[in-house]
Amino acid sequence: MDQNTIVTGLDVVIGVLRYVFLGAAGLTGIVCAGDWLVRTRRLSPFGPAARFFRKTVDPAIAPVEHAVVRSGGLPSSAPLWALLAVIIAGIIVLSLLGVVRDNIILILRAAAFGPRALLSVLLGWTIGFLQLALIVRVMASWVRISPYSRWVRWSFILTEWLVRPLRKRLPNVGMFDISPIVAWAILWAIGALLQRVISFS
């Protein structure tokens, strides 16, 4: 199977999924709008439509409702947040598929140029992933997510080896810990240096 066939196949899959997510978002929008109308009593809470939404839709969006209530929101806004979650999930999945497609193309092209090109790609991926982990831990500190949360713990595990020594040596700037930013810059410099060494070796 050649490179063009793989890329064409990936493009077809991404195109199909784009329509699937668009259809799912449209259907979810209709359902959530109906549930919102029932919750806000714009539709009769005693009619067949209300019974349908309470029986089938409300249990499906119960996790979203619990999260909204814990955050201080109104239960009636849960359908709108559920719709937003579906839209965001679709955007994230399609974006990730696009990244996978681009990286598959990159690795196939690198393989054609030999081990040095493959090593360059792998180093770039490693440093890029570490930089992403640093961004995640900085954003988690901004919104006050615990470092032990399952959603962000991985980012601290992957980067603490670099951030901790920097934190001991760098002063805080006001209330801000600049060690993750300095760590990101160090990784960028290391990546640029390694790419140059590999390209000239």
Q: Where are the domains of the chain?
A: 1-113, 114-201
pLDDT value of position 186: 93
* Buried b / exposed e along 15-38 (16+ C-beta atoms within 10 A): eeeeeebeeebeebbebbebbbbb
Q: Where would I find the H helices in the chain?
A: 3-39, 48-52, 58-60, 62-70, 78-113, 115-142, 153-169, 179-200
pLDDT at 168: 87
The CA radius of gyration of the chain, in Å to the nearest whole number, is: 24
Above 70 in pLDDT, residue 1? no
pLDDT of residue 92: 84
Average pLDDT over residues 18-25: 86
Q: Are 56 and 118 in contact (CB under 8 A)?
A: no
Higher per-residue pLDDT: 119 or 6: 119
* 165/91 Cα distance (integer angstroms): 37
Q: Which amino acid is residue 26, in one-letter code?
A: G
Average pLDDT (5-32) is: 84
Question: What's the pLDDT tens digit per position in 35-53?
Answer: 888 878 787 777 787 788 7
pTM above the 0.85 mark? no
- Identify whether the C-beta of residue 145 lies closer than 8 Å to the C-beta of residue 152: yes
**Which residue has 């980012």 as its token pair?**
155
Model pLDDT for residues 98-110, shown as the tens digit of each residue: 888 888 888 887 8
Quote the percentage of the chain above a pLDDT of 90: 14
Could you tell me if residue 174 is left (phi over 0), alpha (psi between -120 and 50 degrees) or otherwise beta? Answer: left
What is the spatial distance between Cα 170 and Cα 179, in angstroms, rounded to a whole number?
7
Residue 161: its pLDDT value, please?
Answer: 93
Phi, psi of 173 (to 5 degrees): -100, 95
Task: Give residue-wise pLDDT tens across range 141-177.
Answer: 887 888 888 888 999 999 999 999 998 888 777 677 8
92 or 184, which is more confident? 184
Pairwise CA distance, residues 11 & 188, whole Å: 31
Q: Which residue has the tokens 């066939």?
A: 5
